[in-house]
Amino acid sequence: MKKNFILIISFCFIYSSSLFSQSKLKVEYNTTFYGDVFSKGSSKESQAVVSSTKGTEDKIKTLNFNLVINNNLSIFSCQQELVKDGETSGEKMGKLVAGYDDVFYKDIILKKLVSEKEVAFKRYKIDEEYDNFIWEYTTEEKDIQGYKCYLAKTKFLHLDVYAWYCPSLPYPFGPREFGSLPGLILELQKGKLVFLATKISFENVENINFDIDNMKTMSRKEINKIIEKDTENFLNGN
């Protein structure tokens, strides 16, 4: 049953993809977080952390992200807000948890994915693994924005990931590093963080043009060394 379902979905995806080989669209996602970012323990230290990051979950709910697709290219990024004075620790933490400053570039023909992140007040582009997820397909379905979507599951490190993809929108893209499913991902839950599509536009979509092969990037191992050094300097008061 499940094998037949996957074959049917894959056939529909391949057939529809030929119709949409030259296409542009934009998806807007809202974010939310199920539960509390920091667990409310009984220790003074735990209570202090929860108190200092009050408003984290509320901030996450205000953030919106864009996925812009031009043929084989996509960019996923947050809609930037005006910088305001007096931003609380909770608001800053909300942005960090949701990936406010992260940008993801993808080229599905070259099968390459590059993320852009801020580390120690500098921005770096990082070569990421492309499509290294093992998906479990299910027959579970639901409607999102009037489109029938199906559920697929995978793991990201220790986190459970649930993706609701739409075969009638045959674009193998989605939020952040996720995609390569037989349809556009309209809802993604990574751990307790959720990206939900609120608007899909096919007209007046901005042009994106980048050469992912010629981006100045570094490896994940190199960026981890920078993070370790920055953390060490911070702990030593440098």
15 pLDDT band (50/70/90 cuts)? very low
CA–CA separation, 34 and 191 (whole Å): 9
Choice among 12-26, 52-66, 108-122 with the minimum mean pLDDT = 12-26
Q: Is the confidence at residue 52, as pLDDT, over 50? A: yes
131 pLDDT band (50/70/90 cuts)? confident
pLDDT of res. 102 = 96
Choice among 37-41, 62-66, 113-117 with the minimum mean pLDDT = 37-41
**Strand 73-78 relative to strand 24-33, pairing:** unpaired
**Domain region containing 108:** 2-235
Q: Is the confidence at residue 22, as pLDDT, over 60? A: no
DSSP letter string over the chain? -HHHHHHHHHHHHHHHHHHTSS-EEEEEEEEEESS-SS---SSHHHHHHHHHTTTHHHHHHH-EEEEEEETTEEEEEE-PPPP-TT--HHHHHHHHHHTTT-EEEEETTTTEEEEEEEETTEEEEEEE-SS----EEEEEEEEETTEEEEEEEEEETTEEEEEEEETTS-----STT---SSSEEEEEEETTEEEEEEEEE-SSPPP----GGGS--B-HHHHHHHHHHHHHHHHTT-
How confident is the model over 180-219, as pLDDT tens digits?
Answer: 999 999 999 999 999 999 999 999 999 999 999 999 999 9
pLDDT of res. 235 = 63
Read off φ and ψ for residue 193, nearest 5 degrees: -90, 130
238 pLDDT band (50/70/90 cuts)? low
Percent of the chain with pLDDT over 70: 82
How confident is the model over 135-175, as pLDDT tens digits?
Answer: 999 999 999 999 999 999 999 999 999 999 999 999 999 99
pLDDT (mean) for 62-68: 97
Q: What's the number of domains the chain is made of?
A: 1
7 pLDDT band (50/70/90 cuts)? low
Please list, in sequence order, all residues whose beta carbon lies within 8 angstroms of the beta carbon of residue 111, skipping any fewer than 6 positions away: 130, 131
Q: Give the amino acid at 163.
A: A
54 pLDDT band (50/70/90 cuts)? confident
Q: How far is CA 200 from CA 20, 67, 136, 228, in A?
A: 15, 10, 26, 40
Extract the tokens encoding 221. 């191992």
37 pLDDT band (50/70/90 cuts)? confident
| Between 46 and 24, residue with greater pLDDT | 24
